[in-house]
Amino acid sequence: MVELVVGTDAPESSEALADYLTDVVDDDDTLYVINSLVGGEDTSGGDVQAGDQAIQVLVDRLEGLPVTVETHQFVRGNEPVEDLIGFAGEVDADEFVIGVHKRTPVGKVVFGSTAQNLLLAADRPVRCVPLVD
């Protein structure tokens, strides 16, 4: 049994993550599907709705697999990396699964990268699923 923290930020990301997970999960694995939003003025109702949709896409696509899926949407003032790492510690997860976008070097500097920050800060393995823009 493996426990995976799956970070998603959009329905499109969830589609790619679901395609990957369908091929690699084993019976009795547990998937913690996480969407993290900063909250306050930086988060709109549309952001919350998109997060809910992202979570639901994964739940729907993984339905019927012999795995446990637990969902969480965090809106508590943290950066997504803080929520992912903190939650993984709470449940003693084995690994992270995240989607990664291809970005130019300038794009990384200007917009930051949750994936990059997680790779640098994680205390457990991170599986990266390529996302097509």
Q: Are strands 30-37 and 3-7 parallel, antiparallel or unpaired?
A: parallel
Q: What is the pLDDT of residue 66?
A: 94
- Residue-wise pLDDT tens digits, 93-126: 999 999 988 766 655 554 458 888 999 999 999 9
- Residue-wise pLDDT tens digits, 32-83: 999 998 887 878 888 899 999 999 999 999 999 999 999 999 998 899 999 9
Q: What is the mean pLDDT of residues 3-24?
A: 95
Q: Which residues pair with 97 in a beta bridge?
A: 6, 127
d(CA 39, CA 75): 5
Question: Contact, 4 vs 98, CB < 8 A?
Answer: no
Domains and CATH numbers, the chain: 3-130 (3.40.50.620)
SS3 label, residue 24: helix
Please give the structure tokens belonging to residue 97: 């699964």
Q: What is the pLDDT of residue 110?
A: 45
